[in-house]
Structure 1
Amino acid sequence: MTIAGPHRVEVIAVEGVGDVRPGDDIAALLKDAGIQDGDIVVVTSKIVSKAEGRIRRAPDRTQAIEDETERVVARRGDTVISQTRHGFVMAAAGVDASNTDPGTVLLLPEDPDASASRIRAGLAAARVGVIVSDTFGRPWRNGLTDVAIGVAGLRPLDDFRGTSDAYGNQLSATVTALADEIAGAAELVKGKLAGVPVAIVRGLSHLVTDDDGPGVRPLVRAADDDLFRYGSRDVVFARRTIREFSDRPVDPEAVRRAVAAGIAAPAPHHTTPWRFVLVESPETRTKLLDAMREAWIEDLRGDGFSEQSIAKRIRRGDVLRNAPYLVVPCLVMEGSHTYRDARRNASEREMFVVATGAGVENFLIQLAVEGLGSAWVSSTMFCRPVVRAVLDLPDSWDPMGCVAVGHAAAPPRDRAPRDPADFIVTR
């Protein structure tokens, strides 16, 4: 296939590669392919996985998908979109049951960039690029296309930001995924059923580099920068309690967007029982936490705890002190009903407490959507007068704990398995 343009590009199918087995040298299998200096060799990941022994015996691929998944992004029925440990977001974590022996599945190469580098080093031509490609779906588009999951000897991106187009308009967002475009072009001659796992793209020698280059990493968007990090069915499960935070600063606007989600929660009598105090000043944060600590120590001493026990309990508050950003959600009873019956008044307050909890949960979930970790700690509830005094809050505002907010320093531990059936009673 030949593509005309500023550069004349040819895409050539490499036939006769045959069935690849574990231990095969892919570069050696291509010794008679006629590869020339300046060519870009596009290799389907399936044969790389086979050559590297990334084959797993499995009656179905469910467990393999789970093992290869770093994070579930979305799920519908048996379809799972997940992030692999490579950082790729793709269907089934790249686990493939096609073009492999029955009863087996293929896993993605352990390190596709390293695989591309090894193939490149073994090719006879002195200066070539190598792409390891795989098939991806795309949001908002039907159909599949091949993209690069491993790159060596090739500039993966063209960044036009800061340049001007033919009309003098400055480009601010145009970054071309060169490696993906080349992988997609190669797939036009490889096909899915033709048994052609390799193609040569000729005519783009200006994109080939002398060294291996940065690999595929510049093409992979970090999860924290992804506007669609979670699918709607899994967004609730994205909220995790995070107790260790990195030094990366928190975007105050992201917290405000989380507050907008918080105040979308249901509440009794069309009221708005939530207030969120954003503790953005480091001086105020330190003053608040110091005052809370002193109040807690005084209470514990009054309850007869030993100094050793008090010190141990106080250390539990370090999650707040180590967080770069604090939020104090408060309950207000404005709009509540007053009854002659004390029992009904107590129930009225309970409704508002439940509504506040719903608002805080919404807030925590949206923080997760924004890529932020959080921990909801109850400590302010034990010294409300102190918190109100330090933060200069009205007496009618009841602080309902404190939320530590920040970027997680490490991935959270897996959730303990829970069966919903254990929490359901049917009548």
Structure 2
Amino acid sequence: MSLHVLPVPGLPEIDADSDLAELIAKAGTFEDGDILLVTSKIVSKAEGRLLHAADREAAIDAETVRVVARRGPARIVENRNGLVMAAAGVDASNTAPGTVLLLPEDPDASARALRARLQQLTGLRLAVIVTDTFGRPWRNGLTDVAIGAAGLAVLEDHRGRTDTHGNELALTVTATADELAAAGDLVKGKATGTPVAVVRGLAGLVTTEDGDGVRPLIRAAADDMFRLGTSEALRQAVTLRRTIRSFTAEPVDPAAVRRAVAAAVTAPAPHHTTPWRFVLLESAEVRTRLLDAMLAAWQRDLAELDGWDAAKIARRTARGNVLRDAPYLVVPCLVTEGSHAYPDARRAAAEREMFTVAIGAAVENLLVTLTGEGYGSAWVSSTMFCRDTVRTVLDLPDDWDPMGAVAVGRPAEPPRERPARTADAFIAVR
């Protein structure tokens, strides 16, 4: 088998009045089974996707459905076709000053239309790939990839085949269309005015039907481990953190909780101390024993100290069911070892408050990290009202102060939408 990658030179400047397929057919010499690689810029120009815009940023905003990452003025975004790329593909190069080029509105439809017209003009069986230049995570440098395709399968699935040593391939799926796009870019170049190339020698890839286009190349959100940039992922984890009160029976991964605790203990603390301890209740028997003892203590206090009747006590203690229904509990504890002693009550109270703020910061880190792990949580204050009982049941040191309990598990249902909040109502500027 031999493979040839050939430029198609001599194309004129393309505009909205151009018959792009006819111009390509006249410029090149083609054979049955050729794969044409067409730069998206000339497709956009032929489709009238030229925009007179002094503000490129506004054009990017209009083409963006989701910001993936932002660093200074640079943005990686998702466009309406699901393509994740810099600046939504809005391009100010190779176009007149004061104008920008948008990507084709539907690159797959563009590829299908171009293929149909080229096959009509040439009488040959062809495939068409519309390409654009992408950067890539983990690697420097740009390469062309397929953003639209017709007449070939964009992926080749090797799973289930065996290699030369007889090993079964379990993960290998080749991005054929992207490999072809990158090969074509080697002869097209970025500044030579050669926007079309031909790959010859792979006629077996060319199909009778147009096929599914590039959609199979676009990773589903559920499978995308790198869906957001670092700061965007952090903001989303904070925004998505909700109090979850209903959990599935799916067991919680103890390693995920330990990762969350590792994040928790990076919180700020006074005097270079480490005032946090986290008791992980991984045994159902221990959870039940603790909650039964806490319930008895609450019932006694509400009856003897507050004078509540049985019905009122039952309503109040039912709030603790979120802990009983969760498959995993974490009891954060405050340890004030290293705190400063003050003779007056005012400064002693302030010292205690400093440590209390530190445990709050640690628990917030814990909750946000659990959200990033896909778990829901609810921080419930119950243990703070019966600390001696908790210390006795869990056999904790006397100087460990339980600061509530965190229920952890997979949410039984998606949380309700939270109305957007701005910071204005919570800010005072002096």
Instruction: Give the TM-score normalised by the residue count of structure 2.
Output: 0.72
Amino acid at match of 1:54: R
- 335, 340, 356: which one pairs with 1:353? 356
CA distance in 2, matches of 1:408, 1:108: 38
Number of residue-to-residue matches in the alignment: 399
CA distance in 2, matches of 1:411, 1:61: 36
CA distance in 1, matches of 2:180, 2:24: 19
CA distance in 1, matches of 2:415, 2:91: 29
Tell me if the contact between 1:259 and 1:276 (Cα under 8 Å) persists in the aligned partners: no
Asked whether 1:270 is paired with 2:273, we answer yes
Going from structure 1 to structure 2, the CA distance change for 1:255 and 1:197 (only over 3 Å counts) comes to farther
Q: Deviations over 1:266-308 (max 9, x none)?
A: 3345325152757898xx89xx9xx99xx9xxx9xx9xxxxxx
Give 3-state SS (helix, strand or coil) of 1:155's partner.
Answer: coil
Give 3-state SS (helix, strand or coil) of 2:8's partner.
Answer: strand
Q: CA deviation at 1:198?
A: 2.0
Tell me if the contact between 1:241 and 1:373 (Cα under 8 Å) persists in the aligned partners: no
**Match in the other structure for 2:24:** 30
Give 3-state SS (helix, strand or coil) of 1:7's partner.
Answer: coil
Q: Within 5 Å, which residues of 2 pair with 1:98-247? A: 98-124=93-119, 125=123, 127-239=125-237, 240-241=239-240
Q: Deviations over 1:81-108 (max 9, x none)?
A: 2333433332122221112232222222
Going from structure 1 to structure 2, the CA distance change for 1:182 and 1:401 (only over 3 Å counts) comes to same
Q: Deviations over 1:134-158 (max 9, x none)?
A: 1011234332110111222212122
Give 3-state SS (helix, strand or coil) of 2:115's partner.
Answer: helix
- 390, 398, 401: which one pairs with 2:403? 398
**Match in the other structure for 2:366:** 363
Tell me if the contact between 2:382 and 2:404 (Cα under 8 Å) persists in the aligned partners: no
Tell me if the contact between 2:146 and 2:178 (Cα under 8 Å) persists in the aligned partners: yes
Identity of matched residues, %: 47
CA distance in 2, matches of 1:12, 1:357: 63
Consecutive unaligned residues in structure 1, runs of 5 or more: 1-5, 303-310
Asked whether 1:257 is paired with 2:262, we answer no
Give 3-state SS (helix, strand or coil) of 1:38's partner.
Answer: coil
The alignment's C-alpha RMSD in Å is: 4.8
CA distance in 2, matches of 1:352, 1:37: 76
CA distance in 2, matches of 1:122, 1:13: 17
Structure 1 or 2: more helix by fraction: 2
Going from structure 1 to structure 2, the CA distance change for 1:131 and 1:410 (only over 3 Å counts) comes to farther
Amino acid at match of 1:149: I
**Match in the other structure for 1:71:** 66
Asked whether 1:97 is paired with 2:92, we answer yes
CA distance in 2, matches of 1:393, 1:110: 62
CA distance in 2, matches of 1:257, 1:24: 58
CA distance in 1, matches of 2:359, 2:409: 17
Q: CA deviation at 1:324?
A: 9.5
Q: CA deviation at 1:242?
A: 5.8
Consecutive unaligned residues in structure 2, runs of 5 or more: 307-314
Tell me if the contact between 1:274 and 1:356 (Cα under 8 Å) persists in the aligned partners: no
Q: CA deviation at 1:133?
A: 0.8
CA distance in 1, matches of 2:98, 2:327: 51
Going from structure 1 to structure 2, the CA distance change for 1:43 and 1:222 (only over 3 Å counts) comes to same
CA distance in 2, matches of 1:383, 1:265: 22
Going from structure 1 to structure 2, the CA distance change for 1:156 and 1:92 (only over 3 Å counts) comes to same
Instruction: Give the TM-score normalised by the residue count of structure 1.
Output: 0.72
CA distance in 1, matches of 2:191, 2:218: 28
Tell me if the contact between 1:327 and 1:405 (Cα under 8 Å) persists in the aligned partners: no
Tell me if the contact between 1:61 and 1:95 (Cα under 8 Å) persists in the aligned partners: yes
CA distance in 1, matches of 2:190, 2:412: 41
Q: CA deviation at 1:168?
A: 4.3
Tell me if the contact between 1:159 and 1:174 (Cα under 8 Å) persists in the aligned partners: yes
Amino acid at match of 1:358: A
